[in-house]
Structures are given as structure tokens and as C-alpha cells.
Structure 1
Amino acid sequence: MRLIAAPPTVAVADFDYIDTSGEVKNQKAEHEARVAKFAELLRAKLSADGQFQVIPIECAEPPCTPINMQPQKFIDASHRSGARFVVYGGIHKMSTLIQNGDVELLDLETDKLLFKRTVTFRGDTDEAFRRAAVFVSDAVKEAMEKR
């Protein structure tokens, strides 16, 4: 009888969002929705083929991010989740058209940073965030596969 190993587990944290573009129009609600969707898409894409199991990070006061929780509390919560890996980061709106996303992947068993990348994407639309999430998920998957 052949046993099938469970897929490695990964927790995908909420993402922080900072807007220093100086635009007059208040887009806080739109940005909160887009950054939440970004994390949801990342979770869905990572779990889509069954190669990785995505599990939640729980915290007392969401969003569960290193900035909101303080870094050590975030790492502790990530360990408590039982995940092998944790993906986290933030998005920074630099101008009307340019956003930077910082994404990191930590191996929680070894406490080693496996992946750190800044991605730049153009646009402040749902589609721009979707494309960025797809790109990031592919890069993170590749980093976890190499472990």
C-alpha cells in the first residue's frame, strides 16, 4: 500500500498597503478591497493544483500583518498556524500609475528567508492587482518547490 504525503502547508498573510501618491481623491476603501483581493487571489492560486495547502494565520486584531501585529507577534502567530511556510508583504502606491509590492517567503521550520522580491506594477485597477497576484503566486510557488 502506497501512502500519499500531505502537501506542504503555507500561510498567506494579509498584505499591508501604503499610499504616498499624494492624489487628492480618497481611495482608501478601493485600496483596502484590492489589497484584500490580492491576498485572496494569492491563496487561491497557491492552492489551486493541490500542490500546497493554504492555511490561515489567526490574530486577535486583523489584519494579520507584521506591521499591524509587530514582527515577533506575527512570526509567533505564523508558527502557531502550523504552516511550513509563510508568505507576507505589502504594497506601496508610489504615484498615480506605479505600485511596488514587497513579498517575502519564510520557511518556518528553518527560520530562513527563501524568497524576497520587490515587484513593480502599473495601474491602480482590479486587473492590475490581479495580474500582480498571479505573477507573485508563480514566483512564490517556484521558490517553495526549490526548497
Structure 2
Amino acid sequence: MQAANSWRASRRRSRARAVLTMLCVVIALSIAPGGSPAAAPIAVAVADFDYFDTSGEVVDQSAEHRARVASFAALLRDNLAAQDGYRVVRLECSDPPCTANSLSQDLFIAAARKAGARLVVYGGIRKMSTLVQWGEIQLLDLEAEKLLMRRTVTFRGDNDAAYRHAADFVGNTLKETMPKP
């Protein structure tokens, strides 16, 4: 009888050690390399951008402009997705593109919340002339219900390189402004 009790006690200790070991492994895996607990990435939605051509140019470049503006948003998404601590989520709407002007404010916010976003980047680009374009970029924190950034940027050129350069600049500006995880 005493041997059976000793065997049961030994088995309980083995189980307790196994549970303790598993708990230590779980804790160790949740610690970031820097030694602090790993923070969940912040979800960021980059909306499609509105585009306005007020240049008065004779040649219809609307297809090229749609492609460049879509590329601008995609480059921002890629830029932010490459940063540690952020996770880019997509806005879904019934009639794309999903821009701040194509949706009512309530539907735009609802789409961002449905996507799981905490932060939303949105805005528009306006072509003023053959050489000059400007963009209005905004960053909204849905959790704090606060506009974190509103920035006007100008860029020269109406080609893919100009849009890439502008998207890189805006991406770096956003990284400086966005809350850190």
C-alpha cells in the first residue's frame, strides 16, 4: 500500500514538473528578444486615396492617374507592413475604391473598425499642373478617437518615380508619427 502511495506521489510530482516546464516555455516564447513581453502589432488600415486633376491638361490621363494613385496606397501599405510592430489590414467596401470621400464618414469608420484597424491612413492627391501635385495625408487613431496627423505634401512630376518618391516620404513621416507598440 505504501509503495502505491509513493508511486502516486511521484507521478503527481512528475505531472507538476511537466506543467511547470510547459508554463516556462510559454512564457519564454512570449518574451521578445529585447527581454520584454512581445507587444501585439498595431493594426493599420491604409485607405485608397482620392484623386483630383485640376490641371486642365488636354490629354486624358485618367487611367494612368488611377494606376499611380492605387500604386501610391500600395507602396504605403508595403512600407508600413515592413515595419516591426505594425500589421496592415485592408478596408472592405461594397463599391471600391474605399476612399474617405467615396464613403460617408460613418461607413468609412465602420469599415476600418470591421477590418480590425486601430489606425487609419487616408487622404487625397491633387494634380495642380503638369509639374506640381500635392497630397493631403491624415492619420486617425480609432481607439483614442483622435486625429494624430494631418500633413500636406507636395511633389514634382507626374510619373511613377515621382509617386514612389512621395510614398516613401509619406511612409517615413507616418512612422515618426504613429504610436509605438
Relative to the length of structure 2, the TM-score reads 0.78
C-alpha deviations, 1:37-67, integer Å up to 9, x for none?
0000000000113331100011111110111
Equivalent residue, structure 1, for 2:136: 102
Classify the secondary structure of the residue corresponding to 2:152: strand
The answer to whether the Cα contact below 8 Å between 2:49 and 2:123 also exists between their aligned partners in 1 is yes
Matched, 1:80 2:114: yes
Equivalent residue, structure 2, for 1:141: 175
Matched, 1:70 2:112: no
Identity of aligned pairs, percent?
58
Unaligned runs of at least 5 residues, structure 2:
1-26, 31-37
Higher strand share: 1
Q: Following the alignment from structure 1 to structure 2, what is the Cα–Cα distance between the partners of residues 60 and 108? A: 21
Matched, 1:113 2:147: yes
Classify the secondary structure of the residue corresponding to 2:102: helix
Higher helix share: 2
Classify the secondary structure of the residue corresponding to 1:17: strand
C-alpha RMSD of matched pairs (Å):
1.3
- Higher radius of gyration, 1 or 2: 2
Within the candidate set 7, 16, 33, 2:41 is matched to 7
Unaligned runs of at least 5 residues, structure 1:
none
1:146 to partner: Cα distance: 6.0
1:131 to partner: Cα distance: 0.3
Question: Bigger relative contact order, structure 1 or 2, given CA contacts below 8 A and separation 6+?
Answer: 1
Q: Following the alignment from structure 1 to structure 2, what is the Cα–Cα distance between the partners of residues 31 and 124? A: 8
Classify the secondary structure of the residue corresponding to 1:67: coil
